[in-house]
């Protein structure tokens, strides 16, 4: 039975309580015997789930760059192009369409090969539109990786302002609190977790939103004139560069950073110390919002390229949704018997929350403001769940506040 449990993973409750997780021989994939024995107790509201935080995927995983951009890379290894049309290296600037944050990129003209996308595509009014893009690629991928990591470290605040802004007060206040917590958290592991989380978050935005060539040198390309195009009045960044950047971001940022984030998050969760609650909540909030953003963007990409499937990367989205459920399940467990959002609404609970969570009055007021927002938007949050709108900014976030959480549909 121990070997079977090891193969299936212990459930969250047994692992957190350090109990032996005894699988049910009659239903190996169902609730464990320990959870079944608790079926008549209050704690049984927690579902029996065999999920582990460090197994989660907190970005849209893929084995290789999108093959519609280029077939040169069949994995995410950083390998430079060898077939160049010119020895001349040019420095241009690129930025994202939603944010004015340009940075220099060294590029070189390449000789196209079969599978290279040399014109950008999109669908307008049911018809495919195309636009020629410059035949340039990153001259040195390792150097660009260093430049990109330095850019991310310097521009987290700019991305929060550009991506979140003040159009949604609820999101804005929560992101601002998380950004503050990077410096104000009591324990270095909390600060490190949030620092790495924001680095990952910016990198996710860089793979989930369109880039364009910025500045005067457009490499000889013309502006897109279609007003319904994502690149209207812009020059799309060459698709081969997108493929190169995916190799860089997955190899240098997503994979190593996600391991650090998940390890630190699991350590905070399994410590069962309530002083970490705010950092855990803020981490979960950003991960849930990011999951919705990636889901929506993947749907948009599928429509942009005229794909029949709902998602451009259905496996990656499904894995990401399972990861979101893993986080929610653990948060639901650590909140059992400790309801900070309810406590913040009660005069006596505020003092208890301040002491247990090591929170200042200002941070307790932040939790209270969050609780009031959730309460006043119950109908909206319920409708989003009922519609299974997994790309809505509040879809995954709203599940954080459910007193009795159960996993819903994925993918």
Is residue 172 assigned to a domain? yes
Is residue 66 assigned to a domain? no
Residue 271: CB atoms within 10 A of its CB come to 14
246 lies in the same domain as 392? yes
Token digits of residue 205: 């935005």
Higher pLDDT, 18 or 226: 226
Give the DSSP H or E segment for 17.
none
31 lies in the same domain as 176? no
pLDDT in tens, 77-90: 999 999 999 999 99
Q: Total structural domains in the chain?
A: 2
Is residue 43 assigned to a domain? yes
The confidence band for 44, taking pLDDT boundaries of 50, 70 and 90, is very low
- Domain residues for the domain of 145 are 84-334+377-401
Q: Is the pLDDT of residue 3 over 60?
A: no
What pLDDT shows up at residue 8?
56
Quote the Cα angle for 50-54-58, to 5°: 105
Q: Is the pLDDT of residue 6 over 60?
A: no
Classify residue 306 as left (phi > 0), alpha (psi -120 to 50) or beta: left
Higher pLDDT, 165 or 39: 165
Token digits of residue 29: 């994939």
Token digits of residue 44: 């049984």
Q: Is the pLDDT of residue 337 over 60?
A: yes
35 lies in the same domain as 150? no
- Average confidence (pLDDT) over 27-36: 79
42 lies in the same domain as 94? no
44 lies in the same domain as 90? no
**Residue 304 near residue 382 (C-beta atoms within 8 A):** no
Q: Is the pLDDT of residue 2 over 60?
A: no
159 lies in the same domain as 295? yes
The pairing of strands 136-138 and 127-132 is unpaired
Is residue 282 assigned to a domain? yes
Long-range CB pairs of 270-277 (<8 Å, 24+ gap) are 270/15, 270/16, 272/16, 272/334, 274/338, 274/356, 274/357, 275/186, 275/187, 275/356, 275/357, 275/358, 276/187, 276/190, 277/334, 277/338, 277/340, 277/356, 277/357
Residue 357: CB atoms within 10 A of its CB come to 23
The length of the chain, given as a count of residues: 411
pLDDT in tens, 136-169: 999 999 999 999 999 999 999 999 999 998 789 9
Is residue 250 assigned to a domain? yes
Is residue 291 assigned to a domain? yes
Average pLDDT for the chain: 91
199 lies in the same domain as 106? yes
Is residue 191 assigned to a domain? yes
Quote the Cα angle for 11-17-19, to 5°: 70
pLDDT in tens, 210-236: 999 999 999 999 999 999 999 999 999
3-class DSSP assignment, residue 367: helix
Is residue 198 assigned to a domain? yes
Classify residue 21 as left (phi > 0), alpha (psi -120 to 50) or beta: beta
229 lies in the same domain as 316? yes
16 lies in the same domain as 107? no
pLDDT in tens, 97-109: 889 999 999 999 9
113 lies in the same domain as 204? yes
153 lies in the same domain as 253? yes
249 lies in the same domain as 301? yes
What pLDDT shows up at residue 168?
94
Q: Is the pLDDT of residue 303 over 90?
A: no
Q: Which residues, other chains included, contact 336 with Cβ-Cβ below 8 Å and sequence gap of 6+?
A: 43, 46
How far CA 153 is from CA of 73, 196, 286, in Å, comes to 27, 10, 17
Quote the Cα angle for 347-351-352, to 5°: 110
């Amino acid at each position: 039975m121990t070997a079977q449990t090891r193969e299936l993973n212990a459930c969250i409750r047994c692992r957190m309580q350090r109990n032996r997780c005894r699988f049910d021989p009659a239903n190996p994939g169902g609730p464990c015997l320990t959870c079944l024995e608790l079926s008549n107790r209050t704690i049984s509201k927690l579902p029996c789930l065999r999920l582990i935080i460090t197994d989660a995927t907190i970005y849209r995983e893929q084995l290789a760059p999108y093959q519609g951009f280029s077939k040169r890379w069949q994995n995410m290894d950083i390998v430079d192009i060898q077939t160049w049309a010119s020895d001349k290296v040019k420095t241009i600037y690129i930025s994202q369409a939603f944010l004015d944050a340009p940075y220099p990129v060294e590029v070189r003209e390449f000789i196209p090969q079969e599978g290279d996308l040399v014109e950008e595509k999109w669908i307008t009014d049911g018809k495919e539109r195309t636009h020629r893009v410059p035949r340039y690629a990153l001259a040195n991928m390792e150097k660009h990786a260093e430049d990109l990591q330095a850019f991310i470290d310097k521009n987290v605040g700019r991305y929060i302002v550009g991506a979140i802004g003040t159009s949604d007060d609820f999101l804005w206040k929560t992101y601002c609190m998380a950004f503050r917590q990077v410096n104000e958290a009591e324990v270095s592991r909390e600060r490190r977790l949030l620092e790495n989380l924001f680095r990952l978050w910016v990198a996710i935005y860089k793979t989930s939103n369109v880039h364009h060539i910025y500045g005067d040198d457009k490499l000889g390309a013309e502006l897109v004139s279609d007003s319904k195009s994502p690149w209207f009045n812009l020059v799309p960044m060459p698709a081969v560069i997108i493929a190169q950047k995916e190799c860089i971001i997955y190899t240098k940022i997503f994979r190593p950073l996600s391991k650090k984030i998940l390890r630190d998050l699991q350590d905070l969760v399994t410590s069962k110390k309530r002083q970490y609650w705010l950092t855990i909540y803020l981490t979960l909030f950003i991960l849930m919002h990011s999951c919705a953003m990636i889901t929506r963007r993947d749907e948009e990409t599928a429509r942009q390229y005229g794909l029949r499937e709902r998602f451009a990367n259905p496996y990656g989205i499904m894995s990401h949704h399972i990861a979101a459920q893993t986080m929610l399940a653990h948060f639901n467990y650590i909140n059992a018997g400790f309801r900070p959002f309810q406590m913040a609404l009660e005069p006596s609970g505020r003092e208890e929350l301040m002491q247990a969570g090591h929170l200042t009055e200002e941070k307790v007021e932040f939790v209270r403001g969050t609780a009031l927002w959730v309460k006043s938007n119950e109908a909206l949050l319920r409708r989003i769940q009922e519609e299974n709108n997994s790309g809505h900014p509040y879809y995954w976030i709203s599940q954080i506040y459910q007193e009795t959480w159960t996993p819903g549909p994925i993918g």
